[in-house]
Amino acid sequence: MLRYFLFPLLLFLALPQPAIGQAQQQCRLPERIESQTCPQTGPRRGMPGDFDYYVLALSWSPHYCASTKRPDPLQCQDNRFGFVAHGLWPQYRSGHTRAVEGGWPQYCAPTRPPPMDLQRQYLCRMPSSRLIACQWAKHGSCGDFGSDETGGAERYLQAIAGAMDKIALPALTPGEVRVGDLLAALRRINPALQPGQAAVVLRDGQLQEVRFCLKRDLSGFTACDKNAGGARENQKLQIR
């Protein structure tokens, strides 16, 4: 029985990627960074605190830097990242009374961009001032974090950092793998992660991001709903 288990494992390890372990990356911030606002404020959908679970979305930075027309200098010129935070998103499950309005709540309350001194503490996790402002406005305002006046933005960014710290991330090298192999590797280095609790998102056949579904108290993983998205496990993906 053991030999039948070892064969697919050895096959996976032969794929073009390094040994799976916690990814390490360094970050340098310039002395001055301009605070940016989010250009979008709606459409508004849902109420703060009315959701079922969170999705922690982690973008694969090499894909972003290669595919966007105006890459953020902090992410794509000043530094070289692997996985970075896209956001922490409150989600509805299919049976939620508001799910018919859309898969998730958004822009639940007016917000201001977090102060720049606060942003600097988290720019190595989410390396874009505009992204921080937009994620707080679109998603953070719908969570359990409170308002600007009560320190909600800081709690939102702390929650993202805390969730990332609990998840082991692989250090990937360019090459081709199957979605199922990447998910299996994530489960190996995160023993608490079960099938159906994470999703791999592709764009034009390339790794764009990985999404982890988390309980609303952020105490652990939970089952993803269909709104979490994700490619089929038998699909092949290209890692930049």
What pTM does this model have?
A: 0.89
Whether 105 has a pLDDT exceeding 90, the answer reads yes
Is 124 within the bounds of a domain?
Answer: yes
Whether 106 has a pLDDT exceeding 90, the answer reads yes
Distance CA(61)–CA(195), nearest Å, equals 25
Is 160 within the bounds of a domain?
Answer: yes
Q: Which tokens in the block code for residue 139?
A: 């998603």
Distance CA(213)–CA(193), nearest Å, equals 10
Calculate what percentage of the chain has a pLDDT beyond 90.
Answer: 77
Is 39 within the bounds of a domain?
Answer: no
Q: 213 has which bridge partners?
A: 55
Amino acid at 236: K
Return the pLDDT at 14. Answer: 40
More confident position, 20 or 84: 84
Number of domains present in the structure of the chain: 1
Return the pLDDT at 2. Answer: 35
Is 4 within the bounds of a domain?
Answer: no
Is 14 within the bounds of a domain?
Answer: no
Is 77 within the bounds of a domain?
Answer: yes
CA angle 75, 81, 86 (to 5 degrees): 70
Is 161 within the bounds of a domain?
Answer: yes
Is residue 83 within 8 A of residue 168, CB to CB? The reply is no
Residue 151: domain span:
51-239
Is 31 within the bounds of a domain?
Answer: no
Return the pLDDT at 11. Answer: 36
* Interval 200-227: pLDDT, tens: 999 999 999 999 999 999 999 999 998 7
Return the pLDDT at 23. Answer: 53
More confident position, 98 or 231: 231
Return the pLDDT at 101. Answer: 72
* Interval 147-194: pLDDT, tens: 999 999 999 999 999 999 999 999 899 999 999 999 999 999 999 999
Distance CA(66)–CA(38), nearest Å, equals 23
Whether 19 has a pLDDT exceeding 50, the answer reads no
Could you tell me where the DSSP H helices lie in the chain?
2-13, 61-67, 73-76, 116-120, 129-138, 152-165, 179-189
Return the pLDDT at 22. Answer: 44
Amino acid at 238: Q
Distance CA(62)–CA(38), nearest Å, equals 23
β-bridge pairing 83-91 and 175-178:
unpaired
Amino acid at 9: L
34: left (phi over 0), alpha (psi -120 to 50) or beta: beta
Calculate what percentage of the chain has a pLDDT beyond 70.
Answer: 89
CA atoms within 13 A on the CB side of 50: 14
* Interval 54-102: pLDDT, tens: 999 999 999 999 998 888 889 999 999 999 999 999 999 988 888 767 7
229's CB contacts (< 8 A; 6+ apart) are 199, 201, 211
Distance CA(135)–CA(9), nearest Å, equals 38
Return the pLDDT at 15. Answer: 40
Distance CA(14)–CA(234), nearest Å, equals 17
CATH code of the domain covering residue 170: 3.90.730.10
Q: Which tokens in the block code for residue 49?
A: 């605190």
Amino acid at 222: T
CA R_g for the chain: 18
- Residue 120's nearest CA partner among 34, 39, 26 is 34
Q: What phi, psi does 234 have (nearest 5°)? A: -85, 0
Whether 135 has a pLDDT exceeding 80, the answer reads yes
Could you tell me where the DSSP H helices lie in 72-177?
73-76, 116-120, 129-138, 152-165
